[in-house]
Amino acid sequence: MSSVAWLSKKLDDGRIMCEACNQHCKLNDGEYGICGVRKVENGELQLLTYGIAAAVNVDPVEKKPMFHFLPDSKVLSFGTVGCNFSCKFCQNADISQYPQEHHHEIIGRSLSPQAVVELALEYKCKSIAYTYNEPAIFFEYAYDTAKLAHEAGLKNIYVTNGYETHKAIDTIAPYLDAMNIDIKGFSKEFYEDICGGALKPVLDTIEYARKKGIWIETTTLLIPGYNDSDEEIRAIATFQATLDSSMPWHISAFHPMYKMLDVPKTPAKTLRRAYEIGKKAGLKYVYVGNIDDGLRESTYCPNCNKIVIERHGNIGQYITNHLLEMDSCPFCATKIDGVWS
């Protein structure tokens, strides 16, 4: 199935510019974008993955990870093939890099926007996550689904590398409730050499989406020897604390994957070090992930420092929620930042 990728415009030289992400591909007839799933055919940009889901699951929302958004609820997660990045450490390379590595073949099951919403309702999910690969590249599929989801009383979450254009964010913002945005590192070199992107547009997206009123949490996968120095971790934490100290930051453990099979997994002590740096930088909510560490997966009241949501398990999936009236500390009544209902 394909559909017109309407987030695009015709240039004076006859090429079509895709406006979905900050790669800004300018394409002639027959050419594919970097993501491998948007292609110009007969003078129109097509989204080749419209209505074709490569992965669909029901997850705890904590797995996204989202810790301040409808805690202890289920989310219908889905994604397609393709990606606008080419991260050497990608944890989902079997789908994200599939078209690029298989002569632009598109795989997946037929699943219309309406069918995604029906599945979410059937499995009693409170939200839909656009995840596994980069949702920016299947914008029109995500947009149609998100709109129907809102009509059905469901919320929408993007799990993203933050490469959306402002136009894409402006267009989907009325239906987008939350985003988990990766800050994959804090150097130009890391983004260019390891990810195939650039850092600045990502930081810009975090700021822009936050101003739009979308609830934002961020994630950094710490890779030994690549982005785990004190200086780089501090730079990420300081950026975020300066922008908004109440934006939760997830620090995750890397496991050898894809083109980084020779890199060891992240030691627990690195996650603990990053956690302390995040707290020292002034972030109110810092979490470790891909490791069972209840102390550092739980939410603490930023005023009295008592635990208000207890979590443990590799993804913080075992939860005891102590929040009073859904959003306040039970000990000192301080409001805890997040989307709780």
CA–CA gap between residue 150 and residue 340 (Å, rounded):
17
The answer to whether the bond into 201 is cis (omega within 30° of 0) is: no
Tell me which of 25, 159, 247, 319 binds ligand SF4, using CB under 6 A. Answer: 25
Closest to ligand SF4 by CB, 84 or 133? 84
Q: Which stretch binds ligand SF4 (CB under 6 A): 17-25, 50-58, 87-95, 218-226?
A: 17-25
| Amino acid identity for residue 30 in this structure | G
Tell me which of 48, 66, 93, 137 binds ligand SF4, using CB under 6 A. Answer: 137
Number of residues binding to ligand SF4, judged by CB under 6 A:
13
Tell me which of 18, 48, 288, 329 binds ligand SF4, using CB under 6 A. Answer: 18
Comparing CA positions, the residue from 181, 161, 180, 24 lying closest to residue 89 is 161
Neighbouring residues of 9: CB distance < 8 A, sequence distance ≥ 6: 16, 17, 19
Q: Is 45 helix (H, G, I), strand (E, B) or coil?
A: strand
Comparing CA positions, the residue from 221, 186, 180, 190 lying closest to residue 203 is 186
CA–CA gap between residue 293 and residue 162 (Å, rounded):
27
Binding of ligand SF4 at residue 35 (CB under 6 A)? yes
Q: How does 32-42 read in b/e, with b if 16+ C-beta sit within 10 Å?
A: bbbbbbbbbee
Minimum CB separation of residue 114 from ligand SF4 in Å reads: 24
Minimum CB separation of residue 58 from ligand SF4 in Å reads: 27
Q: Which stretch binds ligand SF4 (CB under 6 A): 28-36, 225-233, 313-321, 333-341?
A: 28-36
Q: Are 162 and 199 in contact (CB under 8 A)?
A: no
DSSP summary character for residue 4:
E
Closest to ligand SF4 by CB, 129 or 136? 136
Binding of ligand SF4 at residue 195 (CB under 6 A)? no
Tell me which of 16, 34, 52, 277 binds ligand SF4, using CB under 6 A. Answer: 34
Closest to ligand SF4 by CB, 138 or 254? 138
Closest to ligand SF4 by CB, 84 or 227? 84
Tell me which of 46, 49, 77, 84 binds ligand SF4, using CB under 6 A. Answer: 84
Minimum CB separation of residue 109 from ligand SF4 in Å reads: 22
Closest to ligand SF4 by CB, 124 or 200? 200
Comparing CA positions, the residue from 64, 41, 22 lying closest to residue 155 is 64
| Amino acid identity for residue 78 in this structure | F
Minimum CB separation of residue 292 from ligand SF4 in Å reads: 36
Binding of ligand SF4 at residue 10 (CB under 6 A)? no
Long-range Cβ pairs for the range 294-298 (8 Å, 24+): 296/271, 296/272, 297/67
CA–CA gap between residue 87 and residue 188 (Å, rounded):
14
CA–CA gap between residue 73 and residue 60 (Å, rounded):
6
Comparing CA positions, the residue from 32, 53, 37, 54 lying closest to residue 3 is 37
Binding of ligand SF4 at residue 20 (CB under 6 A)? yes
Minimum CB separation of residue 242 from ligand SF4 in Å reads: 28
Q: Which stretch binds ligand SF4 (CB under 6 A): 22-30, 100-108, 299-307, 315-323?
A: 22-30
Binding of ligand SF4 at residue 21 (CB under 6 A)? yes
Q: What residue ranges bind ligand SF4 (CB under 6 A)?
A: 18, 20-21, 23-25, 33-35, 38, 84, 136-137
